[in-house]
Chains A and B, each alone.
Chain A
Amino acid sequence: MRRPFIVRFFSATPKAGWQALAIFTTFALLVVPLLHLAVPETSVFHVSSYAITLIGKIMCFAIVGVAMDLIWGYAGILSLGHGLFFALGGYAFGMYLMRQIGRDGSYQSDLPDFMVFLDWKQLPWYWTGSDSIWWAAVLVLTVPALVALVFGFFAFRSRIKGVYFSIITQAMTFAAMLYFFRNETGFGGNNGFTDFKRIAGYSITSPEMRVTLFALSAAMLMATLVLCRYVVSSKFGRVLMAIRDAESRVMFLGYNPLHYKLAAWTLSAFLCGIAGALYVPQVGIINPGEMSPANSIEIAIWVAVGGRATLVGPVIGAFIVNLSKSFFTQAFPEYWLFFLGALFVGVTLWLPQGVVGLWSQWREKRANALAIAPADAAVEPGAAK
């Protein structure tokens, strides 16, 4: 029987997934905001603004992790340049945030401070419209995706694969970083954008704004998970996995892998761009450091730690790595990179399926220990959808 698309879309996420999302929603959209806004700071139940910002930030990273999993876990394309798409989304929204500062900057000018400093008299053409939040949204939704589309088209059309692809994505983000470092580029040089004051006229540092951004990040993370779950469980997703496992076979079946890879790649970059736009107002700064090759490598580590081709794994991975990072950078800053390296090596050696793999191994073992029969029942044709 034919089911409407909308039903298929939402039923791609299994029941357990929806239960987890429901719990998450309750916390992210209700419990945490209330504990931050309504509970006095002296109470032990108060959620600090530090915690809100940290978790909000990690949820943005988690979106990037899921987007990365789509392309690496499912299509087998290891991008080491995803930080660029994240940063582009951040810069696109950052332009708007800079304009919202208005005349409250140190030079009391209509122009952003760094332009006054460079002795520019007017906004460059590409800042046109940057005072509109709608135009900012358009840029966030289109620029990272377009950059990915153009880059991906040439890379995939030339059939660049494997480690070569990873290397050129590193080169891509590195080149972009150098370009953004230059003052003349018009994006604030190595200082980037900072000292934001307002979004749509509301103070960016108010608790309400903080909670709003937190809730938006949570909602976006959930939307990303549901969307990506549909994509990977559709026929499109199965073709992606087939490309990952035996690309030439896919071509001889009459598929054009270029279109599949390009669509997944562009979708992935699109999601990263949105994550970047949500991230920047929460941390209050965006600079070319976000495009550094190391940042993009870290994204791959979140996915590896959590478990590839699982979608939830990267969320878990992003939390594990970034919570450890904020712990280490406060307690033992000099050891953070050693820890990260050790974590990556450890996961590669002992947990090829990541944390989620460990969990499913454990469940399998338990099921085998408990039951004798069901293993055979699972392969009966009756189980066919």
Chain B
Amino acid sequence: MSILLLHEVTVSFDGFRALNSLSLDIAVGELRCIIGPNGAGKTTMMDVITGKTRADRGKVMFDQTIDVRRMTEADIAHLGIGRKFQKPTIFENLTVFENLELAMKMDKRARVSMFAWLDDSERDRVSDTLKQIRLDHQAERQAGLLSHGQKQWLEIGMLLIQDPRLLLLDEPVAGMTDDETARTGELFKSLAGKHSLVVVEHDMAFIEQLGGKVTVLHEGSVLAEGDLATVQNDARVIEVYLGR
């Protein structure tokens, strides 16, 4: 069963095709890695899935029946698609706790937020997530003061607390120490199965650690797909990407 299906999706920017008839099928509970040289269209693909960019052609189906192409960013988020950006974007002026509070899955309408008050179970969820991302001693710290790696973790925490069915992670371990990277890998592996994950990365050791199926993007379409060893031995992949 597929959680996300892209069928021949094309996106052009002034005639330049950032995505060129891209097809992709992510199964429920799968952990998929996407690699590809800079400019291959990885971020654009996430923009299309989350409603930031509109596809010119093609289908984007979530959970087999829901067509997300005409939906707003907020509505897509409510379907259960969470996204971590390439550049960590957290709310620097709020505390770590407050960042998670805003991300948490709950009624997000303005008139509800005006009177909202966290109950005990919601506080517990925040504390659990804080432990999961190892920021439980920094709850009241202003998020802007965290280290780069900690900001990445906070953003991952903001994703987790939304409890999305599908997580899109754009270069999640960029700027992390080796130790932090390894722990992030463990976390992602523990999430697979319960959630579906799409991870865009350059770090081959990290992809190897994750161990899922790998898709290679090149010039807006799929160049190769399979386990890491297979794609690493693919002649075309070596030529455009790994060989350089």
A contact residues vs B (CB 8 Å cutoff): 2-3, 5, 8, 231, 234-236, 238-239, 241-242, 245-246, 248-256, 259-260, 262-263, 378-381, 383-384
Contacts and interface: CB of A to CB of B under 8 A. Distances in A.
Given A239-B113, A245-B93, A254-B108, 15 more contacts: A5-B115, A8-B117, A231-B114, A234-B114, A242-B102, A249-B89, A252-B73, A252-B82, A253-B108, A256-B110, A259-B109, A259-B110, A263-B111, A379-B138, A384-B97
Interface in B81-132: 82-83, 85, 89-94, 97-98, 101-103, 108-111, 113-117, 119, 130
Given A234-B115, A256-B74, A383 B94 contact: no
Contacts of B110: 236, 239, 256, 259-260, 262-263
Interface string B59-83: 0000000000000111001100011
Contacts of A248: 52, 73, 89
Given A5-B115, A245-B91, A381-B137, A251 B102 contact: no
Nearest to B50: A252
A151 B240 CA distance: 52
Contacts of B109: 256, 259
B108 A245 contact: no
22 contacts: A8-B117, A231-B114, A234-B115, A234-B116, A235-B101, A235-B113, A235-B114, A235-B117, A236-B113, A241-B93, A242-B94, A245-B91, A246-B89, A246-B90, A246-B91, A249-B91, A252-B50, A253-B162, A255-B74, A256-B108, A260-B113, A384-B139
B203 interface: no
Given A239-B102, A383-B140, A253 B77 contact: yes
A2 B122 CA distance: 13
A5 B115 CA distance: 8
A168 B119 CA distance: 42
Nearest to A244: B93
Most B Cβ at <10 Å: residue of A3, A5, A253, A384:
A253
Contact of A255 (B52, B108, B116): B108
Nearest to B168: A252
Contacts of A8: 117
B227 interface: no
Secondary structure at the B interface, as helix, strand, loop or mixed, is loop
A255 B102 CA distance: 9
B136 interface: yes
B162 A234 contact: no
A254 B77 contact: yes
Interface string B21-59: 000000000000000000000000000001010000000
Contact of B116 (A235, A254, A263): A235
Interface string B122-164: 0000000010000011111100000000000000001000100
A242 B101 CA distance: 12
A256 B72 contact: yes
B85 to A, nearest CB: 7
A254 B74 contact: yes
The 3 closest A-B pairs by CB, nearest first: A254-B77, A259-B110, A251-B73
A383 B141 CA distance: 10
B103 A253 contact: yes
A238 B143 CA distance: 13
B103 A381 contact: no
B141 A379 contact: yes
B77 to A, nearest CB: 4
Nearest to A264: B110
Contacts of B140: 378-381, 383-384
Contacts of A252: 50, 73, 77, 82-83
A364 B125 CA distance: 34
Contacts of A231: 114
B77 A251 contact: yes
B72 A236 contact: no
B117 A2 contact: yes
A192 B141 CA distance: 53
A48 to B, nearest CB: 43
Contacts of A235: 101-102, 113-114, 116-117
A331 B57 CA distance: 70
Contacts of B103: 253
A167 B111 CA distance: 29
B137 to A, nearest CB: 6
A177 to B, nearest CB: 32
A90 B77 CA distance: 44
A153 to B, nearest CB: 13
Contacts of A253: 77, 102-103, 108, 158, 162
A251 B89 CA distance: 12
Contacts of A259: 109-111
B87 to A, nearest CB: 10
Contact of A251 (B74, B119, B162): B74
A69 to B, nearest CB: 15
Contacts of B89: 246, 248-249
A2 B119 contact: yes
B139 A381 contact: yes
Nearest to A5: B115
Most B Cβ at <10 Å: residue of A3, A231, A236:
A236
Contact of B92 (A2, A245, A256): A245
A262 B110 CA distance: 10
